[in-house]
Structure 1
Amino acid sequence: MVAPRLSPLTLALLAVSCGPAAGPAPAALAPAVVAIPPAPPQEAPARAAVEPAVDPSSPLSLPAAAAGPPPTWVEPPLAAQDRARAHQNPFREHREIAVGEHISIAAANGDVASAAGGPGVFAVHEQLGVVGPLKLPARSTWVGVAAAGAGPTNDALYAATPEGALHRAAGVHDALRPDGFAPRGSVAGATAWDAAGGLVAAAAGERVSVSADGGQRFTEAVVAPGKRVRAVLVRPDGVLAAVVEAPSRGQRPGPPDTFLSLDRGQTWKRSAFQPRSIERAGSWIWNGDATCPAVLSRDGQQWTRAALPDALYDRPRLDGALYLSTAIRAGAAGSFRSAVAPPPPEPPPRGAAAVGREPPCKRDGASGMGGVVGGVWGAYGPACEGALCLLHADPPAPPPTRTWIAAFGDGLCDPARVPPGGACAAHLARPPTFAVVDQLAGAVTPVAAPEGCPQPVALHGAAGVGVLVCRGAGGGAAIFVRGATGPWHAEGTQAIPAEALGPMAAAPDGTLLLRGSTPPASAQGREPLQALVRSPLPLGAAQAWRRVAAPDGVAALPAPGGAALLAISPAASTGGRLELALDRPGRPVLSLVRDVKVYQNLTRMEVRDDGRVRFRVLPKPAPEVPGRPRLPPPGPRDARWHELTRGGELVVEATETPAGPAEERRVGPAGR
């Protein structure tokens, strides 16, 4: 039997209680006191920081940024039913209705009355740019331009009402005021008008009335007794043409007759040549047929068929500037078609003038549109490998919003400053006019270029804000921004060439990213990928932009909170490896995933609304196998969206149709 083991404390207590076995007892027995030291306090076991297990197969999502209200300038995307209107040119139906020496006026479908409900009637002045919408008198049915004196702004604007009342604006800026058109004279019953040079003419019945004092007084004359004047045309040099209705032949009306006047409409004479139709283009009165042209020559009497329409069509029309886009476009000063350019052609050689009724034109079957008007890029894009293909991809286009900041094509350059082979828009004497476009209402508000930006290089837009990149001092990028309201805001100059900044992308919270130029995918030792990132701050905020540089970077996208998502492919991997990192303002760069194996070509990177990162994957061409038919190279339709997992795998998105066995063999391991 084993005796129980006693603790030291128990043994001590027994020894005190028993005492010695023999001997006399002490005189006084003091009570024994045993000090028991307190037990040391036991520390609670530290709780181990248990992180939730990360499923490597789960989709990679960007970490959430600090939530906050978006800036006031951020506009939500257009609703799906409204997106068809996005970036449509509101001037696509506009046609030139009048032209002066320095100005062109355009209205929808070439009719003043049809301008209601659209952007309105606009003018394009060679020196001043786009101006509008014009404040025409109520119920105007005609608008014209006539010279009002010497100088580059000598074009006066005229408008007439159905009652024949004439109104005049001294210049294009006056035409912007509600009271800018002042009443002048009138021609009762006028059905046709025209103006050029210093003359204004109106047709009423069998008479043509002409004014040489700005429409205050008119003198009238009968063109052809008993024949109604259907149209009157005024050339800037004072030559007039009138089209009169001919008597009916049975139930069919006869062909119209053309009459000419060399003394400002005082006397009229039937033309020796009778064109089948007649119109005026600047200083040309002609039949309007480019295949078989017949043009009234400088003497105002003879018609020539030797005039080449190229002299007319080679000059760009000023109203072409009404096309809205984000491109910076310009024309050379003095190159536009106007009321005096090109001038009327010289008279034909003796005996070569066109006479009699114009016969039907004998066409040679040519369409008049010879030559190749465009080219086709390679079907499969530039050669690249794996992740390096992202260098050729543009970032996703921002979703359209109600407001769009655009540019007119009315920039002006001095031809003497443009080097041989240089682009006119890169050497501006006057920057283009910009526009705030309400894409739902169709309203267009022209705005001037910001001060301090004589040379715009590129215009970008996202989330309802426009970002204008200008060439600053030393060639750096000077940044200006503006929203739907308010002025342009200067946001500093970045030490990166203005021409090197490419497309812009936007995050949902208003973070913007302008990507820098990228080297060829095959370049060895390529320069770092650069980008400018704007945090979602109020417009005009200091230090809103920062520059991000990613060595071996192949793509960059904006992320919420002013961050930039960077895709990096180490040079040694030749596109076979990929890393993702998040560059955040004021914080260390966060590595999201490393060593992603890339088996196929990545043609696009995107961040979904839920923060997941995905790539567009294009299979590589299958290797040739002797004795087997050669498969066609993969095209855009073969590309599929793949999600990136936390474990660094590219897997086909759930919404994509999985590849079949044959496709699996062609695409590669795991469908990557």
Structure 2
Amino acid sequence: MVAPRLSPPTLALLAVSCGPAAGPPPAALAPAAVAIPPAPPLEAPARTTGAPAVDPSSPLSLPAASIPPASWIEPALPEHQRAQAHRNLFREHREIALGEHVAIVAAKGDLAGAAGGAGLGVFAIHEKLGVVGPLRLPARSTWVGVAGPPNDALYAATPEGALHRAAGVHDALKPDGFAPRGSVAGATAWDAAGGLVAAAAGERVSVSADEGQTFTSAVVAPGKRVRAVLVRPDGVLAAVVEGPARGQRPGAPDTFLSLDRGQTWKRSAFQPRAVERAGSWIWNGDATCPAVLSRDGQQWTRAASPDLLHGRPPLDMALYLSTAIRASAAGSFRSAVAPPAPEPPPRGAAAAGREPPCKSDDEMGMGGIVGGIMGAYGAACEGALCLLQAAPPQPPPTRTWITTFGDGICDPALVPPGGACAAHLARPPTFAVVDQLASAVTPVAAPEGCPRPVTLHNAAGVGVLVCRGGGGGAAIFVRGAKGAWHAEGSQTIPAEALGPIAAAPDGTLLLAGPTLPASAPRREPLQALVRSPLPLGAAQAWRRIAVLDGVAAAPAPGGAALLATSPAASAGGRLDLALDRPGHPVLALARGVEVHQNLTRMEVRDDGRVRFRALPKPAPEVQGRLAPAPPGPREARWLELTHGGELVLEAPPAPAPPVEERRFGPAGR
């Protein structure tokens, strides 16, 4: 391979190797351009004596890599399995129990199969501890509840009415974490809150005030089966019993209340059409026409706004997998005690009698929301400069996905007005290793030394976590499906400026650094971090590159980086290419490549060829309006670089060999 067009050097490159930082981080981050010395001379590829001349029109291929592929690479998912990638495995999960600091969530069917390993499992979200799970429930559990104080203990019941208790969420992870307690034979409904556990069986409700060891029972309404029992954290109980049948149709249920821990029951003066419990609220569940049992445990009020309940985020919102670092303010969640039961209504304003159908003004509706479509036009770009605005191709999905839950916590007192909660973490979010084919999720803690994670990326089956280190620099951690997090040093590039990620087939990774738009009056050097395909945790795995007049960088096999620059004087009309390899001088590939179209992506193919996605330039403006488009298609196309330094239309892939057809008839039998 020969270096085409060896005119006077116009390509200015600098490769800066940065391994794990030794000693404390710098007090201030100097602009990258300050540390850039004059560009070193470019190495031209040598030509073997006697070798035939290279055809200038043939596609240019990168030299073979000197570093073998990484051992930790996971193959990309086949096309027919990629629909399963990055889907929300917890989409069906709903909150089934709520304590003061913990919520229990499960999907339909997961509760009964949790002990036997069926389904994704039952998880807990603890405000102070984060996501915990899957829980190891007793076999054939049909109900899970949470009760305290002083701690949020977990309870589980079986169809036989046997009750089990775990002292906390960590105990619920152990095979024997749920210890047997008392039992209520024939129990068909359970609830727990505060210091009480209650069960309904037949016409009776049994209540325990000693963590489920013993129960006392009482008849709610003679001859009427109790369908549901609700326990408020302050000890008020509600029971829903079957109403008298009207012919062949069951009658409306009746609600009874108890203020003495279930010893005596009294029919409620107000009979809601439905009853449910949400924390401290026992109400009709109708946000349009709410009716809530007030703090006195007897009167129902219509004045309580559902916004008090729904205005607080539920803990189960954290059970959503994403690579984004998300957090909520401590103390802002809906819980068993927040919001509290509302105050009693004014005298004479309490709801009474059987609740009639809601008479809300249905004709008003929510009103139409007009969303104007506003075109977001970025700064105009020309030719090679359009690469500055292009995102690198995303690595293909693999079976393993490293992700996070949205359970991070920030101290609201430390968040400035308009600031992001996730930028002021008091506790980082819980991470997770997801097996996308087995639909298995394993929560893992954030790595030690990373109290402030900033961005998380996935490539080739590993997660790359960028954390904010001392002085605002980037501390990098990696992990695969197994093992622990590996610290891989610090970089002076600001943590918030790194991303997205790109990967070569051999496991070479590239994290893009900060870039300025093509229209910026002064272009700063293009920066990136490149990781060689070394074992996870290897010292000096990452190195920093800074490229004067750089417009794009892409990973190449062997820990290399393909660098594209465009001299400022060319206004995007010319392109220079070079290859930065660890331990080698920068290798010039092409200089002065003429660019006649807008380049929107640069890639290295699996066979080592360099290609660009190009879009024909738009028609020029004529008196404020676009001139008629020239004939021919304007859709994006792929161009490949030749040895002669030209961008030509990429040859289509070779057609698959035809399938041999059977011939029928006298000549083909």
Superposition TM-score tier, normalisation by shorter sequence: 0.7 to 0.9
Q: Show the counterpart of 2:57.
A: 57
* Residue equivalent to 1:127: 128
Q: Encode CA deviations 1:507-554: one digit per residue, 9 max, x unaligned.
A: 111111111011122012211010011101111111111001111111
Please tell me whether the aligned partners of residues 78 and 399 of structure 1 are also in contact (alpha carbons under 8 angstroms): yes
CA distance in 1, matches of 2:48, 2:290: 93
Structure 2 vs 1, CA of residues 366 and 183 (structure 1 numbering), >3 Å: closer, same or farther?
farther
Q: 1:628 to 1:201 in 2, by over 3 A?
A: closer
| Aligned residue in 2 for 1:117 | 118
Note closer, same or farther for the CA distance 1:625–1:474 as it changes in structure 2 (3 Å cut).
closer
Deviates more, 1:541-550 or 1:75-84: 75-84
Are residues 641 and 372 of structure 1, via their aligned partners in 2, closer, same or farther at CA, if it must alter by over 3 Å?
A: farther
Q: Is residue 2:212 matched to residue 1:215?
A: yes
What residue in structure 1 maps to residue 664 of structure 2? none
Match status 1:294 vs 2:274: no
Question: Cα offset for 1:108?
Answer: 1.0
Comparing 47-56 and 322-331, the one that deviates more: 47-56
Q: For residue 55 of structure 2, give the secondary structure of its aligned residue in structure 1.
A: coil
Judged with a 3 Å threshold, the aligned counterparts in structure 2 of structure 1 residues 567 and 369 are, in CA distance, closer, same or farther, namely farther
Whether 1:177 aligns to 2:169 is: no
**Which residue, out of 323, 326, 330, partners 1:333?**
330
**Compared with structure 1, are the counterparts of its residues 48 and 556 closer, same or farther at alpha carbon in structure 2 (3 Å cutoff)?**
closer
2: CA distance, partners of 1:598 / 1:522: 18
1:137-216 alignment runs, 5 A limit: 137-149=138-150, 154-216=151-213
Match of 1:396 among 393, 400, 403: 393
Do the aligned partners of 1:99 and 1:144 also contact (CA within 8 Å) in 2? yes
State the 1:202 CA deviation: 0.5
Structure-1 separation of matches of 2:203 and 2:521: 81
Cα distance in 1, alignment partners of residues 332 and 391 from structure 2: 35
Q: Is the 8 A contact 2:402 2:462 kept in 1?
A: yes
- Amino acid aligned to 1:549: A
Contact 2:112 2:139 in 1 (8 A): no
2:113–2:140 contact (8 Å) kept in structure 1: no
Aligned mate of 2:263, from 266, 276, 281: 266
Q: Which moved more, 1:593-602 or 1:132-141?
A: 593-602
Checking the alignment, whether the CA contact within 8 Å between 1:621 and 1:633 is kept in structure 2 is: no
Of the candidates 482, 486, 489, which is equivalent to residue 486 of structure 2? 489
Match of 1:569 in 2: 566
CA deviation after TM superposition for structure 1 residue 558, in Å:
0.8
Q: CA deviation at 1:382?
A: 4.3
Q: Structure 1 pair 488/637, CA: closer, same or farther in 2 (3 Å)?
A: farther
1:554 aligns with one of 551, 555, 566: 551
The separation in 2 between residues aligned to 1:329 and 1:499, in whole angstroms, is: 14
- Tell me how far apart the structure 1 counterparts of residues 595 and 431 of structure 2 sit (CA, whole Å): 44
Q: Partner amino acid for 2:77?
A: L
Query: Does structure 1 conserve the Cα–Cα contact (< 8 Å) formed by 2:110 and 2:121?
Result: no
User: In structure 2, how many angstroms separate the alpha carbons of the residues matched to 1:582 and 1:89?
Assistant: 39
Matched, 1:255 2:255: no
| TM-aligned CA distance change 1:368 to 1:629, over 3 Å | same
CA distance in 2 between counterparts of 1:265 and 1:112 reads 28
Q: What letter corresponds to residue 79 of structure 1 in structure 2?
A: P
* Alpha-carbon separation, structure 1, partners of 2:479 and 2:131: 19
Contact 1:387-1:569 within 8 A present in 2 as well:
yes
TM value normalised by structure 2? 0.86
Give the Cα–Cα distance (whole angstroms) in 1 for the partners of residues 538 and 370 of structure 2: 45
Deviations 1:201-222 (A, max 9, x none): 1111111111111000111111
**Would the aligned equivalents of 1:261 and 1:267 in 2 still touch at CA under 8 Å?**
yes
Look up the match of 1:136.
137
Aligned with 1:256: secondary structure? strand
In 1, the alpha carbon distance for the partners of 2:434 and 2:412 equals 31
Distance 1:255 1:645 in 2: 81
Partner in structure 2 of residue 350 of structure 1? 347
- Shift in Å, 1:598: 2.0
Output one character per residue of 1:371-417: Cα deviation in whole Å (capped at 9) or x when no partner: 86988673655432222221121111111111111111111111111
The residue matched to 2:243 in structure 1 has which SS?
coil
Q: 1:541 to 1:376 in 2, by over 3 A?
A: farther
Say if 1:418 and 1:424, in contact at 8 Å, map to a contact too: yes
Aligned length in residues: 604
Letter in 1 for 2:636: A
User: For residue 73 of structure 1, what is the aligned residue in structure 2?
Assistant: 72
Q: Tell me, in whole angstroms, the C-alpha distance in 1 between the residues paired with 2:630 and 2:318.
A: 42
Aligned to 2:409: 412
SS of 1:458's equivalent?
Answer: strand
Q: Which residue of 2 aligns with 1:519?
A: 516
For residues 50-94 of structure 1, give each alpha carbon's deviation from its aligned partner in whole angstroms, at most 9, with x where no partner exists.
Answer: 3433333322322221363x3332111112222111111221111
Q: Which amino acid aligns with 1:514?
A: L
Aligned to 1:102: 101
Query: How far apart, CA to CA, are the structure 2 residues paired with 1:637 and 1:180?
Result: 65
Structure 1 stretches lacking a partner, 5+ long:
1-46, 657-672
Closer, same or farther in 2 for the Cα pair 1:99/1:79, shift >3 Å?
Answer: same
> Offset of 1:268 from its aligned partner?
1.2
Contact 2:464 2:478 in 1 (8 A): yes
> In 2, distance between residues paired with 1:567 and 1:94?
47
Other-structure match for 1:648: 645
Moved more, 601-610 or 428-437: 601-610
CA distance in 1, matches of 2:368, 2:491: 43
Match of 2:31 in 1: none
Partner of 1:623: 620
Taking the TM superposition and a 5 Å limit, the aligned residue runs for 1:7-46 are: none
Relative CO higher for 1 or 2, CA cutoff 8 Å, sep ≥ 6? 2
Q: 2:630 & 2:269 partners in 1: Cα distance?
A: 67
Distance 1:291 1:55, change over 3 A: farther
When structure 1 is superposed on structure 2, of 101-110 and 120-129 the one drifting more is 101-110
Which segment is superposed worse, 358-367 or 115-124?
Answer: 358-367
- Counterpart check, 1:321 vs 2:318: yes
Q: Which structure has the greater CA radius of gyration?
A: 1
Cα deviation, residue 48, structure 1: 9.6
1:589 maps to what in 2?
586
Partner Cα separation in structure 1 for residue 283 and residue 249 of structure 2: 25
Question: CA distance change for structure 1 residues 355 and 117 in 2, over 3 Å: closer, same or farther?
Answer: same
TM-superposition CA deviations, 1:153-212 (whole Å, max 9, x none): x10000000000000001111111000000000000101111111110111111111111
Mapped to 2, the partners of 1:91 and 1:314 lie a distance apart of 22
User: Which stretch of the first structure deviates more once superposed, 556-565 or 296-305?
Assistant: 296-305
Which position in structure 2 is the counterpart of 1:82?
Answer: 81
- What is the percent sequence identity of the aligned residues? 82
Give the distance between the partners of 1:514 and 1:411, measured in 2 at CA.
24
Deviation at 1:463, TM superposition (A): 1.0
- In structure 2, what is the Cα distance between the partners aligned to 1:131 and 1:467? 22
SS of 2:81 mapped into structure 1: helix
Asked whether the 8 Å contact 2:94–2:107 carries over to 1, the reply is yes
2: CA distance between counterparts of 1:585 and 1:313? 55
Letter in 2 for 1:237: D
- Within 2, Cα distance between the matches of 1:450 and 1:406? 13
User: SS where residue 575 of structure 2 aligns?
Assistant: strand
One-letter code aligned to 1:327: A
Spell out, residue by residue over 1:22-45, the C-alpha distance to the aligned partner (whole angstroms, 9 max, x if none).
Answer: xxxxxxxxxxxxxxxxxxxxxxxx
Q: Secondary structure at the match of 1:136?
A: coil
Q: Which runs of 5+ in 2 are unaligned?
A: 1-46, 654-669
